[in-house]
Amino acid sequence: MIFTPKNKAIAAERKGDSSHALASYRVDKKIHRSDIFEEIAIGQTLGAWDERFVDAAMLQSRVAKVVAITESENFLEATIAFPWELWQGELSWLLALVFGKMSFYPGVCLSSLAFEEGCFKSKKISGPVHSIQSLRGRFSTTTSAPLLMGILKPNVAMSAEALADLYSEVAHSGVHLVKDDEIRHDDSLETTLRRVEKVANRKAKENLQTLYVVHAPLNAEAFSSLHEWSLKLANAGADALLVNVWTSGLAALQNLRAATKLPLVAHPALAGAMGQGLNSDSIDPAVMLGTLMRAAGADLTLFPSPYGKIGLPKSTTQRISEACRAAWPANIQPTIPVPSAGIKPEHVALACQDFGQDFILNAGTAIFASGQSVADSAREFLEKLETYSRAQ
């Protein structure tokens, strides 16, 4: 379609070293005209500033550029390039630019986000550290099947000793990873460390390999020194850290990635409040739970599967998975998709068909409260995963 902006700067040729974040928007034609994209480009970068206040060359380097606009029966779609100088590798700053004020506009969806190669030069956006292959290498039994994660339910206020018993039971069943509930909030880091040490001691004593994903709530103590905080957890025996990204903040995940080499597991708590898909006034879950998690350095990202009680549509989970795995500049490696919520053994074949083999299946109630023993429930999942993998 023909788009003639009032401010020519937003349509001018982009200059520099290809260091732009490329934000794509989908807007409802019944509510907005194409000038909404000019409003985004100007309003989210320059605002009221013009050559009366700032050198023209400076304005040109800082203004967002409308790269392309397309039109369908019901929607207008555009990609807008936001220069590095405006956000400097800080993903929370970028999120404020691309959708901060726009989140109040009806009929506007942030549908995708991408990064040009120059965005990775500063190493602030480093991506994940661990791959599905490196996690598989932690176990003596080699497998190419998807890995299985169990949720230590219930563990809210469960004693360290009781939780270590539960860990031992599920670890002996062959589950690859177990994670804390995201709603467990200990009264102090010392309490968390005691729990981790109890589990680590049991792991060593019984020669267990199951990885313990620890939820250690981020608070003022943690933020004062993320490196020291995460090092204490690693030294106590934590195998990975669970992060409630959208309650703790996107910057918390990005800064924690810089502070530790432990695997980071991103939990989606609260993300549902920011939208359920492309047709809502929202950020698409593929951006929230895929692109941004990968850019911030999450090794694993949890999201509601299409099969459970709070499932996302299959098309949405496919976009999340694609965002986790798409080819990125600078050889940024993928984030591991972790479909979750209401997963049962009968969903294994569906999950493998939908997500391939390089993912982790996350199950809670179906392992710990199925009516069978934990060992039998876990074994059913594992056998189905291996069976499907061998058939491929």
Give me the active site residues, please: 101
CA 52 from chain center: how many Å?
42
Count Cβ neighbours within 10 Å for each residue of 3-40 and write b for 16 or more, e otherwise.
bebeeebbeeeeeeeebbbbbbbbbbeeebebebbbeb
16/18 Cα distance (integer angstroms):
6
19: its two tokens: 């260091």
134/136 Cα distance (integer angstroms):
5
356/121 Cα distance (integer angstroms):
31
Integer CA distances (angstroms), 370 to 170, 374, 376, in order: 13, 8, 9
| Cα atoms found within 13 Å of the Cα of residue 13, Cβ hemisphere only | 3
Angle, helices 374-391 vs 348-355, to 10°: value is: 40
User: What distance separates the 2 farthest-apart alpha carbons in the chain?
Assistant: 73
246: its two tokens: 């959208």
| Cα atoms found within 13 Å of the Cα of residue 258, Cβ hemisphere only | 16
Please name which of 248, 243, 362 lies closest in space to residue 297, comparing C-alpha atoms.
243
300: its two tokens: 């694993």
198/162 Cα distance (integer angstroms):
10
In this structure, is the dihedral angle defined by the CA atoms of residues 120, 133, 137 and 364, taken in order, positive or negative? positive
CA 101 from chain center: how many Å?
22
Peptide bond just before 339 cis, omega within 30 deg: no
295 CB-contact burial (10 Å; exposed 0-12 / middle 13-18 / buried 19+): buried
333/279 Cα distance (integer angstroms):
29
